Amino acid sequence: MVSIADLTSENEVRRWLENQAAHMAGETGWSRKDPLVDEFARVPSAYWGVMLDAAKHFTSKARGLTEEALIRSAGVEHRELVLKAFSEQLFLVDVVTRYGWVEDCADTMRKRLKDPKFTSNRMGDTTQLLVALASLHDERDFTLFADVLRSTRYGYWQARMARALTTVPGFDLDAAATSAWRYYEQGQYPDHQDGFAVAAARAGIAAALPISVLHAAGGKGTKWSSGELQDEARALLRDHLGLHIDADDGTAALAWWESAKDQVRWDADTRRWTGPKPPVFPLKQEQPAITPGANDF
């Protein structure tokens, strides 16, 4: 196969990309580790914009590989191309963040995040935009963050968004999470409040932690739960309190919580819950070995 790095004209690059896409027709799954990503990323810098345009017309595997290659190969020399395309090709948020161009794209991000149809159906993209916008530390955006957090349909996505926001250096999740939690405390969408509890607990809201424990223990006692949300709750308790809960450990975990809850505190400096060291629950009960008897043969 001729390498894309050896091509010397826009037409050659376009035809090469179209041929590759044709070979992948009907394939849906793809991996960032696919060697083709590295090959696509060798596109000559002068023709990077050709591949950017081609990506809009690809689907499934070809689109995924091409977009990943564009992210890897983008350079500062592609700034104008990136900013021009960003509103339609949001995968470029990785490039925008890497080179510090978030402020240039902030209005587009805000517009998308204010669109309930977008935030309800493209939650992965929504999370990336939230993290990028949060890096600007603009207090005017806190209301927007709160609106997105409370209106997201699935509690496990709310929890993922909150977890992602905690990775932004210096970003304080409290304002957005507290605002969203107050909305629920007013009695609106009580089912959603239980779903939001894990996200709220990551922001130090004390009333949300017991609900998170219920999620981690299997969800019984909550108005709404899911396997994904239970996983997020377990990750929270593991990361903060060292409490490892398996699907079969719910009863024991709840018993520990009842005995320890009065000693659990939120540390505002470290932004973590602290408390007494929990017991180590076995993931599975070991079955006693059976020694064959004379009548077993």
Question: Interior CA angle at 228 toward 224 and 234, to 5°?
Answer: 95
Pick 96 or 170 by higher pLDDT.
96
Of 191, 145, 140, give the one whose Cα is nearest residue 168.
Answer: 145
Q: With a threshold of 0.85, does the pTM exceed it?
A: no
The pLDDT score that the predictor gives to residue 31 is: 93
The pLDDT score that the predictor gives to residue 290 is: 41
59: CB partners within 8 A, 6+ apart: none
What percent of the chain clears pLDDT 90, i.e. is strictly above it? Answer: 55
Pick 90 or 229 by higher pLDDT.
90
47 close to 10: Cβ distance less than 8 angstroms: yes
Of 147, 210, 136, give the one whose Cα is nearest residue 176.
Answer: 147
Q: Kindly report the average pLDDT of the chain as a whole number.
A: 88
What percent of the chain clears pLDDT 70, i.e. is strictly above it? Answer: 92
Residue 73 and residue 17: Cα distance in Å, rounded?
Answer: 15
The pLDDT score that the predictor gives to residue 288 is: 43
- Place 191 in a pLDDT band, splitting at 50, 70 and 90: low
Rounded mean pLDDT of 229-253? 84
Give yes or no for residue 268 having a pLDDT over 80: yes
Question: Interior CA angle at 265 toward 264 and 270, to 5°?
Answer: 130
Q: Which pair of tokens denotes residue 50?
A: 């050709």
Range from 42-56, 118-132, 175-189 carrying the lowest mean pLDDT: 175-189
3-state secondary structure of 272: strand
Q: For residue 55, which phi and psi values (nearest 5 degrees)? A: -60, -30
Give yes or no for residue 109 having a pLDDT over 60: yes
The pLDDT score that the predictor gives to residue 177 is: 84
